[in-house]
Amino acid sequence: MSDVITGPIELGCLGLFPAQNAVAFSAGQVAGAQALDIAFDTYNSTIAQMISFTSIPQLLYTVGGPQGHYAMGIQNFPGLVNTGLLTLIAVDPLPSYAQTSFVVQFANPATAKAQLQTMKTDYLTSHDFTVYSNAPYLKAVVLTKLTGLQAAVAQVG
């Protein structure tokens, strides 16, 4: 692949999932091939999928489940809040807005509650924060107003 703007070529592997209308790219020759092997093994059910881990369906519950979003991703490493274990990012359609939810998973509910101020500092543009009393999650929500071309792009995906 090459960057259209700056031009450098990046070696990597590209995988196609025609039945899902999906494409996967992973940077690096060896590392990229290994990452795509895991993706294909997961797709073919020869290794466990993330959804099979107990915490993932609980995490998805915080954003209304796995379907109906503009986009969704899970970072299985500390993200912006470096005391978190992983971060779920979900982008959802709202009239004239895109709502982006950042759900950070911590080791336990007490740690999550103790990190609320850090979360508020790290997600300054968030208008809403949710603390789950019996779950190790904190959620920050950001609203982005869609106008003109942004709205058209958001409507067609």
Q: What is the pLDDT of residue 156?
A: 55
Contact in structure between 136 and 125 (CB atoms under 8 Å): no
- Report if residue 131 sits inside a domain: yes
Q: What is the pLDDT of residue 152?
A: 57
Is the entire prediction scored with pTM above 0.75?
no
**Are residues 122 and 72 both part of a single domain?**
yes
Contact in structure between 157 and 114 (CB atoms under 8 Å): no
- Report if residue 119 sits inside a domain: yes
Buried (b) or exposed (e) across 92-102, using 16+ Cβ within 10 A? Answer: beeeeebbbbb
Contact in structure between 68 and 101 (CB atoms under 8 Å): no
**Are residues 76 and 112 both part of a single domain?**
yes
Buried (b) or exposed (e) across 26-65, using 16+ Cβ within 10 A? Answer: beeeeebeebbeebeeebeeeeeeeeeeeebeebbebbee
pLDDT tens sequence across 114-156: 999 999 999 988 989 999 988 999 999 998 887 755 655 655 5
**Are residues 97 and 132 both part of a single domain?**
yes
- Report if residue 127 sits inside a domain: yes
For the chain, the domain total comes to 2
Q: What is the domain extent for residue 18?
A: 12-47
**Residues contacting residue 117 through CB under 8 Å, at least 6 positions apart:** none
- Report if residue 3 sits inside a domain: no
- Report if residue 1 sits inside a domain: no
- Report if residue 4 sits inside a domain: no
pLDDT tens sequence across 87-115: 888 988 888 888 899 999 999 999 999 99
Q: What is the pLDDT of residue 3?
A: 61
- Amino acid 16 reads L
Cα distance between residue 60 and residue 67, in whole Å = 9
pLDDT tens sequence across 16-58: 877 777 777 777 777 777 777 777 776 666 655 555 555 677 8
